[in-house]
Structure 1
Amino acid sequence: MRDLAEPTVLLDAWGHASMAPVAGRGAVLVQLAGLCPDLDSALDLSVGDCAALAALAHATAFGGEVAGFITCASCGELLSAQVSLPTAHELVTAAARCPQQVTVGDFTVRAPTMRDLLAAAEAPDQACAVLLSRCVRRHDGSPADPTELTAKERSQLDEAAETITGDTLPMLCMRCPACDCQVRAALDIAAVLWDRIDMSAPELMEEVALLAQAFGWSEGDLLAMPAARRTAYLARLET
C-alpha cells in the first residue's frame, strides 16, 4: 500500500486524478494507493468496495476525521459537519453483508460498479436509464427499460437497490438549525479523499516553488526533504 500523503505519491495522485472523469476518481486513487493491481480492477469494484478502500487510503494518509458541508434540501442552508469516517473494516464488513445480486419481482439486480458510474456520467441526461440497462435484467435476460416500468416495478427496484447498497455508503444525518428539518446525505468517501488531495497538493507545490526559487533546490530534493525541514526553511523566508 502507498501513502497518498507522501509528497511524490501525493503529486502523482493529484496529477492523474485531476485528469480523470469525476466518476472515475475514486477508482484512480484506490489504484494509485496500491489497493488494486491496476485501473481495470479498480473500475470493476462495486461502489461499496471502492468506498471501503478509499476509506482505508484516507485513514492511512490523512486520518479518519473529515470536515465538510451539506446543503439543507428544505431551505438551502449550508451546514458544516465534522465527521468520523467509518473504518475500512466497518465498510468491508457492511459490503460483505450486502448481496452483490438480488432477485425481486421480474428482475435481477446487481451492485453497480465504478465502471457503471462512469458510463452513466457520460450520459448525464440518461444516467438512470444507463444504470438500469447495465445493472438490471428481466428474467428473460433483457435489460430493463425505464420507459416501460410500472410504479410497482420502480418501487421494487428501489428496494433492491437499498438491499444491495445497505450500509456501504454512510449517511450523514443532522438537523438544520434554520428550518429544523432533518438533513440526510450520502457520504461519498472517494470524493472526500479527492477533496483532501486537491487541497494538499497545491499547498505542497507552493512550498516547493517558494523554496526552489529561494535556494535553487530541485523539486526532487524538496519532495524528498522531511516536511518539518521544509517548514523550517519556509519560516526562515518569512523572517
Structure 2
Amino acid sequence: MSLLVALDGPAAARVTLGTHHRELLALHRDLLGTTLEAVVTCRHCGTDSEFPVPAEAVLDLPAPVPGNVVAVEVGGARETFRLPTVEDLDATRGLAYDDAVRRLAVRTHVGGAAPALDSGDIARLTAAWDEADPAGDVTVDVDCVGCGVPLAVSVDPAEFVARDLDRFLDRLVREVHALATAYGWTEDAILALPTSRRRRYLELVDTRAAARSLTAVSS
C-alpha cells in the first residue's frame, strides 16, 4: 500500500485489493516492461521454485464497479457489504483469518450494525467478495522443481513489484554515476535521456574502459 500511496496519495488506500493489484502490475509493466518473477518455498521439501506472475491475465480480469456491494445470507437475513479496501485490510493486520474477516464485515457492512458471522457466513462472504473483485486473489499453480508436488501459490504482487523497483532504482543510480563520471553530465540531464540512448552511452563508456584496460596491459 505504501508504494502506491507515495505515488498517488491517500486515495490509493481507498481502492479494493483487486484494483490495488492491477495498479501495481500496470506500474511494473509500464516502468520495467519485464516479466514479474516470484518465488515459493515448497512446504514438502523446502525447495525454492521461481515462476512468472501472470500479470497480463490479472490485468485482463474485470474491475469491480465503483460502489459495488455484495449481498450475503446471514442468519436467515440478507445482509449487504461493500467491497473491502486496502485500508480496511490493513486494519486486520495480525489477526487470525476468521477474526480478520469479522473485522472486515464490521467495517464494510451497509446499514446498521454488522451481524455476527459463523464459519459458513465467513465462507459465503469471502466467496462473494472474490467473485466481485477477482484480481484480489492472485493464485498461481506451480509444480515444485524439487519434488514435483503441485502447489497453489497465493501471490502478493506488492512484494515482488517493490523488489523489482528497488533493483531498477539501484541500476538507475549506477547508470547515472557512470555517465556523470565519464561525461560530467548532471543527474537531470542523464535522466532526461531516453532509455535507449542512455544505454548506448553506457555501452560506449564500457568500451572506453575496456580499451584503457587493454592499453594498460600492453604497455
Alignment TM-score, normalising by the size of structure 2: 0.73
What does residue range 80-91 of structure 1 map to in structure 2 within 5 Å?
80-87=50-57, 90-91=60-61
Paired residue secondary structure (2:179): helix
What does residue range 217-236 of structure 1 map to in structure 2 within 5 Å?
217-235=185-203, 236=205
2:49 to 64, 79, 84: 79
Q: Determine whether 1:160 maps to 2:116.
A: no
How far is 1:199 from its partner?
Answer: 1.3
Q: Deviations over 1:107-136 (max 9, x none)?
A: 654422111133234xx2578645532434
Q: Tell me the residue number matched to 1:202.
A: 170
Distance 2:13 2:92 in 1: 13
How far is 1:177 from its partner?
Answer: 3.8
Q: Tell me the residue number matched to 2:180.
A: 212
Q: Tell me the residue number matched to 2:86.
A: 114
Q: Deviations over 1:137-174 (max 9, x none)?
A: 789844577xxx6xxx1232133212212332231102
Distance 1:158 1:45 in 2: 22
Gaps of 5+ in 2: 211-219
Distance 2:173 2:119 in 1: 49
* Coordinate RMSD, CA, aligned: 3.1
> Conserved in 2, the CA contact under 8 Å of 1:102 and 1:164?
no
Aligned length: 198
2:36 to 60, 66, 71: 66
Q: Determine whether 1:42 maps to 2:7.
A: no
Letter in 2 for 1:204: L
Q: Determine whether 1:105 maps to 2:77.
A: no
Identify the range of structure 1 (128-137 vs 57-66) with the bigger mean alpha-carbon deviation: 128-137
Distance 1:55 1:179 in 2: 30
Q: Deviations over 1:65-123 (max 9, x none)?
A: 322211223332211113431356522x1645xx63332324654422111133234xx
Q: Tell me the residue number matched to 2:5.
A: 28
How far is 1:221 from its partner?
Answer: 0.8
Distance 2:42 2:63 in 1: 27
Distance 1:178 1:196 in 2: 25
1:190 to 141, 158, 161: 158
Identify the range of structure 1 (131-140 vs 49-58) with the bigger mean alpha-carbon deviation: 131-140
Assess, with a 3 A threshold, how the Cα gap between structure 1 residues 95 and 195 changes in structure 2: closer, same or farther: farther
Letter in 1 for 2:165: I
What does residue range 173-188 of structure 1 map to in structure 2 within 5 Å?
173-188=141-156
